[in-house]
Each structure stands twice: as structure tokens, then as C-alpha cells.
């Protein structure tokens, strides 16, 4: 005998409230072991493989690939315990996973260490048998569906669908409906027990948009009737002369990495009174030192050192002299929190968008160690395998926008940090060197800082020290 347990999308940490299904790793009818990864999801911070805390047979999956689910929404159901008539011989040979109440683990790497069982199918006739009721904390037993059906309704204990509150789990769904004037009571949810998902609200918004488009193209649409009464989900912009703007423009949802970046940058601009100072520096000597390091042979040889690694090491030395910039502001307590360690973030552009991996304890590393960690994190970023922990906790950010072929910028501080150093491209320019005009390798450095943590004198001193180290790398010998 078996019982059917419902596995819901767990809290993935770091304040994440939803995730998008990227790829299912199991099919309906597969046998899964405890803590075996069953689905790959994309959050606003990283790609994560989610393990199932139950061992048994997958009886249903909820959500197609590309569907966005809130935390707490059902992912799949598992028949725990060997199905009646199941044997370890024949075409379905192999021992079935032991039944369990679940490990309670969330992310891969924190499981029990049990090896993942080989995926195998159980014939439907062995699943179509009566089973006992599940505990109240899990879903009660239903006949295991043979076919995958994202909208199969698994009744939750003590659930009532007759009357009561609107069946919405996610506050994000409620907010999205409220912002677009969508009446949730008029929607039929596609989730279990009529649960209204974000996809249902998005569908209602699109329907309203199509209605508004048809209305706007009619002659009477140019009248000055209230647009919001006809199409609450469409924001119709008006030109200065009062003519309505085109309504067939592409609308791209702000979600995933793009949404997280938008929220963080908006919060930074809203909360932080930032200021920017910049300086041009002669990087000729720094480039020569790097070339000498990488050309070394024999006992002094080592891994290649990048320009970004040298600049990161300069930053840690500068922060040791100007610790005010390695801090954050506690607005509720009205206190500046000065941080003892430097966790250096660096901006990396990937196919998924801009991410900022963090080099932990950068203050305790040399240029070679920082360079190796930057290379490792960059590769993880490019393959989409960075964990949320590797993308958070930074105290200062280094932004090398020179790789895009630009000279300068005014970077936005990575909230809740207090400063960010921007580095432009290094290129030959005319420069006065030792009293004579010469062609030198010049770079523009810009520092954006939170004016609450320090004044311009401190910020200027930090930037000047960084520029001095770029122009005369021997200055760093004082701190090595």
C-alpha cells in the first residue's frame, strides 16, 4: 500500500518568492529516490536543481517548462511506498526506493547523500490501485494519473472550494492583479483546487490588452473617453499634443534576472544619495608589471594574472586605508555599519543578464588568488550555475565596463553597499610624461559613493590612492 504526498516549491532562500520551471528531470511514472533532483528552476538569482524530499513513484507534475510558480505552489506528487504487485524482477528489475516521510532538504548539496536511483517507469496497471489516506500534512490519496496533466487537481486536506477567500497563494499574484485592476474573483485558477497562478493573471491581462487594442483602433477610440475604464491593463501613453501613442508596442515582463536587477537599481537610486568623482590615470606601468608577472619563468612563474585581478587587489588595499567605503547604512537604526571584511563583487555580463558574483574575503587574498576566484566565478556565471549565496553578501563592487569599449560611466551603487569603482577601457592617448608629450596607456576611473557614509574628501582620497597604484604599482609594496 502507498500514500500520495504533495511536494511544493520550497523556499529557496535569499528572499526569493517565485521561480520559473526550466527543465523537468523526471517524468510521470518515474521512480525517484529521496533528495533526487526532479526539476531545474530559474530564480531571480541563479539556476537551481530542486531535490524531492520523498522517495517513490511520480504520479503528477504541475506546470509546463517556462511556467512561473510562487513558493508554496505544488510541483509534483509522489506515491510513497512500493506499489502493490511490484517486484524486483522482470523488466522493472531493481530495488525500489524506500518510503520515507521526507528529508526536509531544499537545495542540492545539502541532502542526505543518498545516491540518486536509476530512473525507471512503473507500468500504469501497477499504479492504478487503491491506496491509504495520507497524513493531514500531505495530500490525501487519489488514483495516480497515467498521463502528465499540469492541471490535475490533487485535493488538499480540509480544502474548501465552495465559498471563502480568493484562492491565491502568492502575494505577488495579488499585487500584479491589483496593479492591473484585475478582479481575482472572476478568474478561474488553473492550479490545484482552482489556485490562481501568475499565469492566470497574465492571461487575463493579455485578454484585456487585446480588447483595448481592438477598441483603440475603432474611430471612437480617439474620443476622450476614460481609457482606464475600457482597458485597465494597458498603460496608454499620450504624446504632448494629446494624440494617443501606439498600443501595439511589445511588452516585456520584468522578471527573473532582469526583474531583480530593475528592483535593486531602482531601490539604490531611491534610497542612496550618491555622488560620483573620476580621474584619468596612466596605466602604462601597471600593464608593464602585469606583462612581467605573466612572462616570469622558473620558480617565480605562476598562473596568468588579469588586469581585473590587479585592480581588485588595489581596491582591497584602498579599502584598508579608507574603511568608510566598506560599509552600509542601517536606515531603521540610523547607523553606519562599518564592515570588517571585504567581500568584493565584480560585474559580469551573461546571456541571462548582468550578475555580480562575490569574491569572499578578498582582503585576505593576493592578486593571484583573487584572479583565480574571479575566473572560477565568471565561468559559473556564463554557464548559469552560480548559487544565490555566490551572488549576495558583497561589501564593495568593481565594475569593469571598459570591456564594452567605453571610456567612462557613472555606475549605480549595488544596494546596500556604499561604493562602486568603475573602470573604463585602457587605450593609447597623448599624455604628458616626465615633462614631455608621449603616447601612454590611459584609463578613466570613476567612484560612485554613498554620501551618507563619507564626504568628498574621503572619496577623493580613495580614488587618488587607486590612481596612484595604477600609475606606480610599487606603491602597493607598502601593503604586501
Taking alpha carbons only, the member of 94, 113, 95, 119 closest to residue 38 is 119
Q: 327 to each of 238, 272, 342, how far by Cα in Å? A: 44, 13, 9
CB neighbour class for 217 (10 Å; exposed up to 12, middle 13-18, buried from 19):
exposed
Backbone angles phi, psi at 80, to 5 degrees: -90, 130
Catalytic residue among 11, 128, 263, 451: 451
Q: Are 20 and 71 in contact (CB under 8 A)?
A: no
Q: Among candidates 173, 195, 368, 353, which has minimal Cα distance to 261?
A: 353
Q: Which residues pair with 151 in a beta bridge?
A: none
What is the grid cell recorded at 93? Answer: 528489475
CA distances from 97 to 56, 79, 148, 261 (A): 6, 11, 22, 42
Among this protein's residues, is 202 annotated catalytic? no
Q: Give the 3-state secondary structure of residue 144.
A: coil
Are 346 and 362 a contacting pair, CB within 8 Å? no
- Output the CA–CA distances (angstroms, integers) from residue 455 to 99, 361, 398, 449, 459, in the order listed: 63, 26, 20, 9, 7
Residue 175 · residue 53 · CB < 8 Å: no
> Is 451 noted as a catalytic residue in this protein?
yes
* Residue from 11, 330, 361, 455 carrying the catalytic annotation: 455
- Taking the C-alpha atoms of residue 84 and residue 251, their distance in angstroms, rounded to an integer, is 52
For residues 347 and 398, the answer to whether their CB atoms sit within 8 Å is yes
* Start-to-end CA span in the chain (Å): 68
Q: What angle do CA 210, 215, 218 make, to 5 degrees?
A: 135
Residues 6+ positions from 238 with CB-CB distance below 8 Å: 244, 245
**Residue positions annotated with a catalytic role:** 451, 455
Amino acid at each position: 500500500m502507498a500514500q500520495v504526498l504533495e511536494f511544493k516549491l520550497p523556499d529557496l532562500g535569499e528572499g526569493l518568492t517565485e521561480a520559473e520551471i526550466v527543465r523537468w528531470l523526471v517524468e510521470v511514472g518515474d521512480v525517484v529516490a529521496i533528495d533526487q533532483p526532479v526539476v531545474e528552476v530559474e530564480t531571480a538569482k541563479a539556476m537551481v536543481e530542486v531535490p524531492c524530499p520523498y522517495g517513490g513513484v511520480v504520479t503528477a507534475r504541475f506546470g509546463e517548462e517556462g511556467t512561473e510558480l510562487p513558493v508554496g505552489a505544488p510541483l509534483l506528487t509522489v506515491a510513497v511506498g512500493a506499489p502493490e504487485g511490484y517486484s524486483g524482477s522482470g523488466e522493472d528489475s531493481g530495488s525500489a526506493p524506500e518510503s520515507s516521510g521526507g528529508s526536509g532538504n531544499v537545495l542540492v548539496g545539502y541532502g542526505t547523500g543518498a545516491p540518486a536511483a536509476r530512473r525507471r517507469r512503473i507500468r500504469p496497471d501497477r499504479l492504478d490501485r487503491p491506496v491509504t489516506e495520507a497524513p493531514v500534512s500531505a495530500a490525501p490519496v487519489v488514483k495516480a494519473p497515467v498521463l502528465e496533466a499540469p492541471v490535475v487537481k490533487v485535493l488538499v486536506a480540509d480544502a474548501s472550494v465552495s465559498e471563502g477567500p480568493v484562492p491565491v497563494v502568492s502575494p505577488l499574484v495579488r499585487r500584479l492583479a491589483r496593479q492591473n485592476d484585475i478582479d481575482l474573483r472572476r478568474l478561474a485558477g488553473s492550479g490545484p483546487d482552482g489556485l490562481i497562478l501568475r499565469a492566470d493573471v497574465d492571461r487575463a491581462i493579455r485578454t484585456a490588452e487585446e480588447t483595448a487594442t481592438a477598441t483603440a483602433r475603432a474611430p471612437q477610440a480617439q474620443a476622450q473617453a476614460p481609457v482606464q475604464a475600457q482597458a485597465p491593463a494597458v498603460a496608454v501613453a499620450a504624446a504632448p499634443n494629446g494624440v494617443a501613442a501606439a498600443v501595439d508596442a511589445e511588452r516585456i515582463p520584468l522578471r527573473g534576472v532582469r526583474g531583480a536587477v530593475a528592483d535593486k537599481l531602482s531601490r539604490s537610486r531611491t534610497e542612496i544619495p550618491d555622488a560620483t568623482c573620476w580621474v584619468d590615470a596612466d596605466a602604462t606601468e601597471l600593464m608593464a608589471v602585469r606583462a612581467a608577472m605573466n612572462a616570469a619563468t622558473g620558480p617565480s612563474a605562476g598562473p596568468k594574472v588579469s588586469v581585473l585581478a590587479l585592480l581588485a587587489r588595489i581596491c582591497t588595499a584602498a579599502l584598508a586605508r579608507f574603511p568608510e567605503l566598506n560599509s552600509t547604512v542601517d536606515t531603521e537604526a540610523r547607523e553606519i555599519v562599518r564592515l570588517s571584511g571585504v567581500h568584493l563583487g565584480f560585474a559580469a555580463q551573461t546571456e541571462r543578464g548582468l550578475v555580480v558574483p562575490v569574491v569572499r574575503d578578498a582582503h585576505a587574498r593576493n592578486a593571484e588568488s583573487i584572479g583565480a576566484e574571479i575566473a572560477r566565478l565568471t565561468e559559473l556565471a556564463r554557464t548559469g550555475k552560480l548559487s544565490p549565496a555566490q551572488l549576495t553578501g558583497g561589501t564593495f563592487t568593481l565594475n569593469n565596463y571598459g570591456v564594452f569599449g567605453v571610456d567612462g560611466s557613472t555606475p549605480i551603487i549595488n544596494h546596500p553597499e556604499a561604493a562602486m569603482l568603475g573602470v573604463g577601457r585602457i587605450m593609447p592617448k597623448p599624455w604628458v610624461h616626465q615633462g614631455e608629450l608621449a603616447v601612454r596607456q590611459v584609463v578613466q576611473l570613476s567612484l560612485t559613493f554613498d554620501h551618507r557614509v563619507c564626504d568628498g574628501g574621503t572619496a577623493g582620497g580613495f580614488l587618488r590612492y587607486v590612481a596612484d597604484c595604477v600609475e606606480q604599482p610599487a606603491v602597493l609594496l607598502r601593503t604586501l
